[in-house]
Chains A and B, each alone.
Chain A
Amino acid sequence: MPLTPEDIRRLSLLARIEIAPAVAPQIHAQLNGLFNLVAQLQAVDTKGIEPLCHPIAAIEEMTLRLRDDVATETDQRDANMKNAPQQENGLFLVPRVLE
């Protein structure tokens, strides 16, 4: 099922990726090209097949490893915020958040 221009607009909003009107038709065509290819998947019978989340789960059960509840971190604010586009008094600054 080909994507509509409305789909493209919705994806642009969802993904916060602006699409200039000039390139929209091209991107639209490229995405449809990919989804033509992807359509092959629909023909595969996957009844009873579990999705593969971690590759090694193909041969044995893989389970999550847990960390002990210990606070190990010290304050690294200066290092962690050194790339901030805008900051003041230890806060990241952004255009006003409206709630």
Chain B
Amino acid sequence: MSASPNGGGKGSPAGWVDGAPAGWEVVIGLETHAQLSTASKIFSGSKTTYGAAPNTQANAVDLALPGTLPVLNRGAVQAAIKFGLAIGAEIAPRSVFARKNYFYPDLPKGYQISQFELPVVVGGTIPIVVDGVEKSVQLTRAHLEEDAGKSLHEGLDSMGVSGIDLNRAGTPLLEIVTEPVMRSAQEAVAYAKALHGIVTWIGICDGNMQEGSFRCDANVSVRRAGDPKLGTRCEIKNVNSFRFLERAIEYEIRRQIEMIEDGGKVVQETRLYDADRDETRSMRSKEDSMDYRYFPDPDLLPLVITEAEVEAIRATMTELPEAMRQRFVRDYGLSEYDARLLTQSKAFADYFVTCAEETGEPKLVSNWIAGELSALLNRNGLSIEHCYVAAAQLASIVIALKKEVINGKGAKDLLYAMWEKEELARDLLVDALIKQMGLEQISDATAIEKIIDEVLAANQKSVDEFKSGKEKAFQSLVGQVMKASKGKANPAQVNEILKAKLT
């Protein structure tokens, strides 16, 4: 994620108004699968680490060997409760696991254990901002379920076979479903980013989209503006970045509108987004695939969550981004923009809070993070987690600046010099570096006076101009003094002494 505040990316395609071609309205709902960062699987004691050798993390339960039974992981339930609390949802006092029956080689039991009629999290909202406009996205529900395995094709195609790896089977998922309330791809992306921010913030999901830890499916339909009836929707799967989500939805909007304008009808189906060709294509529309024959899993009893359990988890929860943002504005006097930027992720906020606490200068720290540091991060396309300069180091720089050990230019030079050393920078001691680079500010009046005298002697023309009333000449002289001090002179002192000498 780049260092820009939550919100929509680029605007809609040319000719579109409010996320859709004129005369059309778009309706989008998102279903997101967030893999929960538990140590073990949702119904077995297998590990959940990514990238292990095939089937080495699939035990008898995950493989659905005859006689095996599921036992629910408390960690997954706690993660769901945390999420529910974070979005102001209701935690269902009683929820039920159901079996979703369908055949697929990566689904070992021939059914997925999920929640159907009674999910663990009900309702809730997530605020988003698109083009400066705030909107609240209502959630329908969030429910716990198990992930499926993977079908692999690489190197096996010539044999006409696929390989089944069930390491991922049984990894806990929280499926988070919105109401169909989004009206543009930009809103959908803003929501997805905000949701991503929340689940990573509260630490229930690592948010790694490349590894499939955070997967969005979009339900998209279009209708003519003013039509009260919802159009037929298509579900787009396989979107593994925010950029692709936006493009996939926009492609789908165009496809559906063109189809209707050409007199055709949208067919309800699942479509796969192909990033290479930037298009969606029909995945499966088998007649029987819709009848999942859900029924309560007789191997599992109703999940009962007491108010005391919810409160215990509430007590352990860290401040949420929204509350933190408001606090930064209120207590630190930060701008809305800066506060939003600093709370874009838990890592970002942690970085800021560490610096602010060490320096006691939240406003100054905020300026440095929002300014120079963000510029550097963006330049290298880095997230704050991979920032070359650690929070404590930036704090040392700011402290040096505050104590007037270095001046602003010195601080900037220092930051950039550290940045150039990339990963190595995190081992550097800021104070030692200041000395090594000779960046200490010259605040000794005698020394400054000496430099000024030399500059005045060499620039009689500017002195004369100033005396004849040209104010500009003063700034030129200051510049000369700073230059002569290699930028190290205390600018305030330079001003003061120079003024005294000239008047």
Determine direct contact between A and B, CB below 8 Å: yes
Contacts of B44 in A (CB 8 A): 73
Task: Please tell me if A70 contacts chain B, counting CB pairs below 8 Å.
Answer: yes
Instruction: Among B45, B55, B152, B157, point to the contact of A73 (Cβ < 8 A).
Output: B45
Q: Chain A contacts of B272 at CB under 8 A?
A: 99
In the complex formed, the residue of B with least CB distance to A13 is: B288
B72-A76 in contact (CB<8A): no
Bound Cα distance from A76 to B63, whole angstroms: 11
Q: Which of A13, A67, A91 contacts B54 (CB 8 A)?
A: A91
Cα of A69 to Cα of B298 in the assembled complex, Å: 22
**Minimum distance in angstroms from B312 CB to a CB of chain A:** 14
The distance in angstroms between the C-alpha atoms of A51 and B38, with both chains bound, is: 33
Residues of B with C-beta under 8 A to A71: 39-40, 45-48
B287 to chain A, nearest CB (A): 7
A62 → B minimal CB distance (Å): 5
A63 surroundings in chain B (CB, below 8 A): 301-304
Say if the beta carbon of A58 comes within 8 Å of chain B: no
* 26-63 of chain A: CB within 8 A of chain B: 51, 53-54, 57, 61-63
Q: Are B164 and A94 in contact (CB under 8 A)?
A: yes
Decide if A53 touches B296 in the complex (CB within 8 Å): yes
| Smallest CB gap from B159: residue in A | A93
A18 at the interface (CB under 8 A from B): no
**A78-97 interface (Cβ within 8 A of B):** 80-81, 86, 88-97
Which of A13, A54, A96 lies in contact with B153, CB distance below 8 A?
A96
Nearest chain B CB to A36 CB, angstrom units: 22
Chain A contacts of B153 at CB under 8 A? 96-97
A79, B404: Cα distance in complex, Å: 68
B424 close to A (CB within 8 Å): no
Interface flag for A64 (CB, 8 Å): yes
Contacts of A13 in B (CB 8 A): 287-288
Measured CB to CB, the nearest residue on chain B to A69 is B75
B136 located at the interface, meaning its Cβ lies under 8 Å from any Cβ of chain A in the complex: no
A51 neighbours in B (Cβ, 8 Å): 296
Complexed CA–CA distance, A92 and B108 (Å): 11
Provide the residues of chain A in CB contact with B288, threshold 8 Å.
Answer: 10, 13-14
Say yes or no: is B71 at the interface (Cβ < 8 Å to chain A).
yes
Tell me the smallest distance from the CB of A1 to a CB of chain B, in Å: 18
Q: Which of chain A's residues have a CB closer than 8 A to the CB of B63?
A: 80
Contact B40 A94 (CB under 8 A): no
A18 to chain B minimum Cβ distance, whole angstroms, is 13
Q: How far is the CA of A98 from the CA of B348 in the complex (A)?
A: 42
* Residue from A14, A73, A89, A95 within 8 A of B291 (CB atoms): A14
Which of B294-309 touch A at CB < 8 Å?
Answer: 296, 298, 300-304
* Chain A residues within an 8 Å CB radius of B97: 64
Whether a CB of chain A sits under 8 angstroms from the CB of B383 is no
Residues in B with CB closer than 8 Å to A92 are 55, 105, 163-164, 166
> In the complex the two chains form, what is the Cα distance from A53 to B103 in whole Å?
25
Q: Which residues of B contact A61 (CB under 8 A)?
A: 304
If the complex has contacts A75-B57, A92-B163, are A97 and B105 also in contact, measured as CB distance less than 8 A? yes
Of all chain A residues, the one with the shortest Cβ separation from B44 is: A73
CB atoms of B161 and A70 under 8 A apart: no
B500 adjacent to chain A (CB < 8 Å): no
Of all chain A residues, the one with the shortest Cβ separation from B156 is A93
CA distance A62 to B298 in the complex (A): 12
Residue of B53, B291, B296 touching A90 (CB-CB under 8 A): B53
Chain A residue nearest to B58 (CB atoms) is: A80
Report if A77-B48 is in contact (Cβ < 8 Å); known contacts: A63-B301, A69-B75, A97-B105: no
**Complex contact B301–A54 (CB within 8 A):** yes
Judge if B293 is at the interface, Cβ distance under 8 Å.
yes
- A69-B39, A90-B54 as given contacts; A80 in contact with B75, CB under 8 Å: no
In the complex the two chains form, is A62's CB within 8 Å of B302's CB? yes
B270 to chain A, nearest CB (A): 11
Shortest A94–chain B CB gap in Å is: 5
Assess whether A77 is in contact with B74, with CB atoms less than 8 Å apart.
no
Residues on A with C-beta less than 8 A from B71 are: 65-67
The reply to whether A67 and B53 form a contact with Cβ atoms under 8 Å apart is no
Q: How far is the CB of B210 from chain A (nearest CB, A)?
A: 19
User: Of A13, A61, A91, which is in contact with the most chain B CB atoms at under 10 Å from its CB?
Assistant: A91
How far is A20 from B436 in the complex, measured between Cα atoms in Å?
Answer: 87
State the B residues within 8 Å of A (CB): 38-40, 44-48, 53-60, 63, 65, 71-77, 96-97, 103, 105-106, 151-153, 156-157, 159-166, 272, 283, 287-288, 291, 293, 296, 298, 300-304
Given contacts A61-B304, A67-B71, A67-B74, 20 further A-B contacts (CB under 8 A): A10-B287, A10-B288, A53-B302, A63-B302, A64-B300, A64-B302, A65-B71, A66-B72, A69-B75, A69-B76, A70-B45, A72-B45, A80-B55, A93-B164, A94-B164, A96-B160, A96-B161, A97-B105, A97-B106, A97-B151
Q: Report, nearest first, the 10 A-B pairs whose CB atoms are least far apart.
A: A69-B75, A91-B163, A72-B45, A66-B74, A63-B304, A92-B164, A97-B162, A97-B151, A90-B54, A64-B301
